[in-house]
Structure 1
Amino acid sequence: MVSMSEPSTPALSAGPVYAHRAASARTALSVFFLSGLLMCFPGAILPSWGYHISEDFLTIGAYFLALGAGLVASVRVAAILLQKKDIRFVVVFACALASASLFYLAAVSPPVDWPWRAAGIFLVGLAAGMLNRSAFQSLTLVWERDAASTINLAGIAFGLGSLLMALFLSSTFYVYTGRSSLILAALLPGFAAGIFARRHFAAPVPHHDSTPAEMWRDFRSPAAILFSLLLFFQCGNEWTVAGWLTVFAVHRAGVAPDDALQMLALFWAALLIGRAGTQALLKSVGHGKLLVSSAALAMLGCLFLMGTDNSGGAWVGVLLVGVGSALIYPLVVEKIGHRFPGYHPGFFNGIFSLAVAGGLLAPVTVAIGSHFLGVWVVMALPLAGTILVFLLTLAIWLEARLTGGKRA
């Protein structure tokens, strides 16, 4: 994966209605925190399940495939529930599902066969996706005022949850068994369900998911294709690093499993600090310049990780990748919103949503590559993806200049 940004505060505090919306926005951002906990879980739990000493990379890929399937399924499940119930019901239901999923995973921890755990991770992805969609829909009015800041703040909350999960599993690695750690982790979404049941969420602004005809129209737009490719590669880059970093650090850099989890925590901390620290820059520095600079920094970090065989190089590389990746996704989403006003991250947006879903398959691709070629593929794919992100950023800028559209 938090308070509202400064530009939104005056508008949100102009009366009782806006005060209610501000409280609702803060609650929605706390939902992203919980989603961050869940999305960090598959990559962080791998050492506790023994995959730091195993080369069963295809099974790891199956876990990430199950996670992605759960996220994709959540789009339809959340849409059906939100037609019949309010956002609070969906959030509470997702929290309860997340808690039950973690308890279930504790029960099927090794030596139970891996397909049982894959089923549990599918449910974790389903719960996380429902939380994301509900939170984004509750933030619709804020999103329409300032897309980049809204996505950035949501990313800060999400990153804080992911950081907490990585630190928790790192600190308990030699203290508790993986099963005990999961039982403790399952308590938090259970408590959150009780808290959110008493909170208020803003009613979502009416919106519709993209139809097949609208999606086909997007396929005929060069700008839509370029933005979708950018989303695809950036999502793939971030989730490959987040999912595989612990396994890569142990196998490639030779670090201890708890240190590998601390590296994962550093990655999320770098994302968090990068997004928080650059929040002020969003109004004073050109967003195109920030996007290009971020892509270049992430590329440098991937090069460090790709070439390292020691813990020192790995720590530096993780820091650079985290800071460099911090602003890419928020800025890309903002630019999509400017060029395509109907875009909203809380709904199915045709080609753009397909690109995000496709990016979630990158960790699965890494599993296949690592099985046949070795664990170095874990950073080779994000490196290639970051280079393409950099090139696509330039292509989008050029396309905007040539067509006379808004500058990318």
Structure 2
Amino acid sequence: MTGAAPVDTLGELTPQHSSSARAALTVFLLSGMLMSLLGTVLPAWEYHLRGDPIEIGHYFLAMAAGIICSARIGEWILRRRPVRFLVVFGSGLASAGLVELAVASPPVDWGWRALGVFLIGTAAGILNSAAFRSISSIYERDPAATVNMAGVMFGLGCFGTALLVAGIFYVYTVTSLFLLLALFPAFAVPLYRRARFVPPVAYPLERSPREIWTEVRSPGAVMFTLLLFFQFGNEWSLAGWLTIYLVQTVGASPDNALLMLAGFWASLLLGRVAAQMLLKRVSHARLLFASAAAALLGCLIMEFTNNLFGAGVAIFLMGGGYSVIYPLVVEKIGHRFPHYHPGFYNGIFSIGLIGGLIAPGILGLLTHWYGIRAVMAVPTLGTITVFVLIVLLWIETKMTTVAVRRP
């Protein structure tokens, strides 16, 4: 008899469920590596020297298009094949996309590189879809901690990629660099083929589909989606353009710019781990104000600094400030929408990622028109927008709670 092994009533996970959850979390690691790729390889393509911001913007839009296409592809596959096949397929597609980028390195026309980036975006979206469905077993026990752990693994993948490329920047050619990166998802294929991914948990519908659809369209759900859309836009605008910005404004070398990018990911990662502890001890409103103020101060320092020390301080403030937003949002989603399974998070997360890639795509136009200093415009305005959305979300939650309690 096939199927998922049962979970006992005490909430203890069986070995099969534990193994599936661990494998799913490693998928987020691979996804982080793929999603952060563009910000790390732009110097390798020498865009810090010849600078064509329109082309850079097209790369980010190509990755966003890949994530959009992955939703349909993943849904089609999951109706016919198990989650394991989806993970293996996504890993293989990622490796193929990286090999294509190795072949399409400059001076090959940039359109071929955009194709490779599209394949990588599609692969990352497919892996996200599979991973969110595979964490169902541990999600049931602690939704907020599970999604935050997925975020930590995703951040580790981003940090590791930046650190790796910084370390080998002057050692390997661009083609060799991409072939080396292609080995990671290629080695993951046989590992995931042997892994056991339990089928997603079938959540009982305690309410009618009409009630669920009404809640998804509620102002709260819309604001959650917009919040992640703008927050990811803030983070990925910096992550995507930071290396080019540092080289052209403060005179950083490409490898030092990549190390500072790794520092940005590290501050985000460590900040989110610290935020998990602070959420239980510090007022959420006070934490929000402090994080928003730190992020805004970092944006302003980065806008006007002309040296590496000022840039380093700004990166620390922005990463630390932005790091608190995601745990706050995850906790609110868990309380506001307790009926939803990780597939719901995948939808919100994917929309957020699309926003995170459209923003640096738009920066290509802004930088073309107004110069490299325009890079800081999006995260500065986006930070203010995120702060306003969180305040509105808290007000909406309070009003909803009062309405429910009212006889």
TM-score normalised by structure 1 residue count: 0.89
Is 1:162 matched with 2:142? no
Is 1:136 matched with 2:148? no
Structure 1, 81-90 or 57-66: larger mean CA deviation = 81-90
Opposite residue 272 of structure 2, the aligned amino acid is R
Match of 1:374 among 362, 371, 374: 371
Structure 1, 296-305 or 314-323: larger mean CA deviation = 296-305
Match of 1:69 among 34, 56, 65: 65
- Change in Cα spacing, 1:206 to 1:405, as seen in structure 2 (3 Å) is farther
Deviation at 1:338, TM superposition (A): 2.3
Is 1:254 matched with 2:254? no
Deviation at 1:221, TM superposition (A): 3.0
Deviation at 1:217, TM superposition (A): 4.4
Confirm or deny: 8 A CA contact 1:132 1:346 kept in the other structure. no
Q: Distance in 1 between matches of 2:164 and 2:50?
A: 23
- Change in Cα spacing, 1:376 to 1:403, as seen in structure 2 (3 Å) is same
- Change in Cα spacing, 1:348 to 1:228, as seen in structure 2 (3 Å) is closer
Q: Deviations over 1:12-69 (max 9, x none)?
A: 9969853322222111111111111111111100000010112200000000000001
Q: Distance in 2 between matches of 1:214 and 1:68?
A: 31
Structure 1, 155-164 or 296-305: larger mean CA deviation = 296-305
1:8-407 alignment runs, 5 A limit: 17-206=13-202, 217=214, 221-347=218-344, 354=351, 356-404=353-401
- Change in Cα spacing, 1:219 to 1:142, as seen in structure 2 (3 Å) is closer
Q: Deviations over 1:135-158 (max 9, x none)?
A: 111112322332321121111111
Confirm or deny: 8 A CA contact 1:295 1:324 kept in the other structure. yes
Deviation at 1:268, TM superposition (A): 0.9
Q: Distance in 2 between matches of 1:312 and 1:348?
A: 38
Opposite residue 24 of structure 1, the aligned amino acid is S
Deviation at 1:349, TM superposition (A): 7.5
Q: Distance in 2 between matches of 1:406 and 1:42?
A: 46
Q: Distance in 2 between matches of 1:26 and 1:288?
A: 34
Number of the residue aligned with 1:5: none
Q: Distance in 2 between matches of 1:225 and 1:15?
A: 32
Deviation at 1:216, TM superposition (A): 8.2
Opposite residue 334 of structure 1, the aligned amino acid is E
Confirm or deny: 8 A CA contact 2:139 2:342 kept in the other structure. no
Q: Deviations over 1:52-95 (max 9, x none)?
A: 11220000000000000111111111111111111111111111
Deviation at 1:337, TM superposition (A): 3.4
Q: Distance in 2 between matches of 1:39 and 1:238?
A: 12
Q: Distance in 2 between matches of 1:205 and 1:230?
A: 27
Q: Distance in 1 between matches of 2:8 and 2:174?
A: 44
Q: Distance in 1 between matches of 2:216 and 2:154?
A: 31
Q: Deviations over 1:353-407 (max 9, x none)?
A: 5455334311111111010011111111101100111122222222323343599
- Change in Cα spacing, 1:111 to 1:13, as seen in structure 2 (3 Å) is farther
Confirm or deny: 8 A CA contact 1:343 1:349 kept in the other structure. no
- Change in Cα spacing, 1:66 to 1:168, as seen in structure 2 (3 Å) is same
Q: Distance in 1 between matches of 2:313 and 2:388?
A: 24
Q: Distance in 2 between matches of 1:54 and 1:140?
A: 47
Confirm or deny: 8 A CA contact 2:135 2:342 kept in the other structure. no
Structure 1, 235-244 or 135-144: larger mean CA deviation = 135-144
Q: Distance in 2 between matches of 1:143 and 1:16?
A: 12
Query: What secondary structure, in the 3-state scheme, does the structure 2 residue paired with 1:316 have?
Result: helix
Confirm or deny: 8 A CA contact 2:336 2:397 kept in the other structure. no
Deviation at 1:344, TM superposition (A): 4.4
Confirm or deny: 8 A CA contact 1:13 1:19 kept in the other structure. no
Number of the residue aligned with 1:7: none
- Change in Cα spacing, 1:348 to 1:16, as seen in structure 2 (3 Å) is closer
Structure 1, 241-250 or 57-66: larger mean CA deviation = 241-250
Deviation at 1:273, TM superposition (A): 1.3
Q: Distance in 2 between matches of 1:306 and 1:233?
A: 19
Q: Distance in 2 between matches of 1:118 and 1:253?
A: 28
- Change in Cα spacing, 1:348 to 1:119, as seen in structure 2 (3 Å) is farther
Deviation at 1:220, TM superposition (A): 6.0
- Change in Cα spacing, 1:117 to 1:252, as seen in structure 2 (3 Å) is same
Deviation at 1:191, TM superposition (A): 0.5
TM-score normalised by structure 2 residue count: 0.89
- Change in Cα spacing, 1:85 to 1:405, as seen in structure 2 (3 Å) is farther
C-alpha RMSD of matched pairs (Å): 2.8
Q: Distance in 2 between matches of 1:356 and 1:35?
A: 11
Confirm or deny: 8 A CA contact 1:61 1:365 kept in the other structure. yes
